[in-house]
Structure 1
């Protein structure tokens, strides 16, 4: 899946065949933000406008906007799995973090 990106926010894009428009949804935040457009240019403009309006609204309300994912991920593993991961990373000459990031990257098809 391809995503659009603006100011650190990512959006998933779908095509609505009934209305013949592209619809976008912001990923990775609790607040719900969506936008739409009939062309790629219109969609991109609507995406930027949605993010800018969201950030302005949060500032006016004196509230923190939801931030996209930080890149930090805490995992709890069984000790046996932790040991197996550490061994696999060591065999490839990588830190556990780099090895896990590579595995997750491959698994998520990005």
Structure 2
């Protein structure tokens, strides 16, 4: 399995051949954050946006990421 990394967070990279799209999840213990795209390049962008959004949400709610 291929892993993505950004700001200390890891994410998976998977391909759904029947629907022809890429998808993944942030590798978190407590929360489930998914992202998807139609290309690998777009998936990496969406992965980074997911990390940034997740960190913003954690800060807004005053919770520790994880």
Scaled by the length of structure 1, what TM-score is found? 0.56
Give deviations 1:51-108, integer Å, cap 9, x for gaps: 0000000101111111xxxxxxxxxxxxxxxxxxxxxxxxxxxxxxxxxxxxxxxxxx
Query: Which residue in the other structure is 1:15 paired with?
Result: 15
Structure 2 length normalisation: TM-score?
0.90
Please identify which structure carries the higher helix content: 1
Instruction: Provide the residue aligned with 1:55 in structure 2.
Output: 55
Equivalence map 1:1-12=2 (5 Å): 1-12=1-12
Structure 2, unpaired ranges of 5+:
none
- Matched residues in 2 for 1:7 and 1:62: separation? 19
Aligned-pair Cα RMSD in Å = 1.1
Counterpart CA distance in 2 for 1:47 and 1:5 is: 9
Give the greater-gyration-radius structure (CA). 1
Unaligned runs of 5+ in 1: 67-110
Structure 1 residue runs of 4 or more that deviate by more than 2 Å after TM superposition: none
Distance in 1, Cα, partners of 2:15 & 2:40: 11
Correspondence for 1:88: none
**Of Structure 1 and Structure 2, which has the larger fraction of its residues in strand?**
2
